[in-house]
Every structure is written in C-alpha cells, then in structure tokens.
Amino acid sequence: KAGVTQTPRYLIKTRGQQVTLSCSPISGHRSVSWYQQTPGQGLQFLFEYFSETQRNKGNFPGRFSGRQFSNSRSEMNVSTLELGDSALYLCASSLALVRETQYFGPGTRLLVL
C-alpha cells in the first residue's frame, strides 16, 4: 500500500497570508490527525478527523482549521499567518479513532517570512 502523502512538501509564505496543506491517508484508513512540530514546542496535536467529522481539536487558535473529504483525504488551513506558524506540519492516518499505530506522512515544512 502507498503510504501517507502530503503536499506540498515545502512552502514559503509571508505574514498575513493563508495556506492550505493536503494529506492523503493510506487507503482504507478513515482517521486523519494533524500535528505541528517546532523546535521549541515539539510535536503538538492540532486536530483529528474521522468520517468527515472533526472528532478532536488541540489547543490552537481558530486560525487553524481543517476538513476531511468523503475519500478520507484531509486539508488543513491556516489563515492570517504569523511568524510563529513556521513549523513542520505532519499528518498521520490510522484505521480507526482508537489511537493505535499512527502512520505519518513526510510532512510539509512551512516557513513564514
């Protein structure tokens, strides 16, 4: 099976802009989670989607949003970018909501200037 894919892999934006990141889970996986990784804060949970519904959300401002489509592909959007949003954004998929093994994509590295 193909692994989790994320696009784009690298992105440079300026403050105030918005960005959309995409994640395609492993075929058959219905749960998609998003994480932000920074040197200072480490890996932090953003949100989790299952069957097109957001099931859980981490402690991030409303500028961070996401959605999941009927084919389980997911997108996350960050509006009004700030310098502190520069990070590696990781998507992970799993078969179900139960937090067993998560399969991670390669990540999207976002740089905000």
Partner 1 sequence: SQQGEEDPQALSIQEGENATMNCSYKTSINNLQWYRQNSGRGLVHLILIRSNEREKHSGRLRVTLDTSKKSSSLLITASRAADTASYFCATDESGGGADGLTFGKGTHLIIQP
Give contact residues for partner 1 (rule: CB under 8 A).
4, 33, 35, 41-48, 56-59, 88, 90, 92, 99-107, 109
Longest dimension (CA), the chain: 38
CA distance 86 to 96: 30
Count other C-beta atoms under 10 Å from residue 98's C-beta.
Answer: 7
Q: How far is the CB of 40 from partner 1 (least distance, A)?
A: 10
8 or 16: whose CB is closer to partner 1?
Answer: 8
Cα–Cα distance, 23 to 77 (Å, whole number) = 12
Q: Which is nearer to partner 1, 22 or 102 (CB)?
A: 102
Nearer to partner 1, 13 or 103 (CB): 103
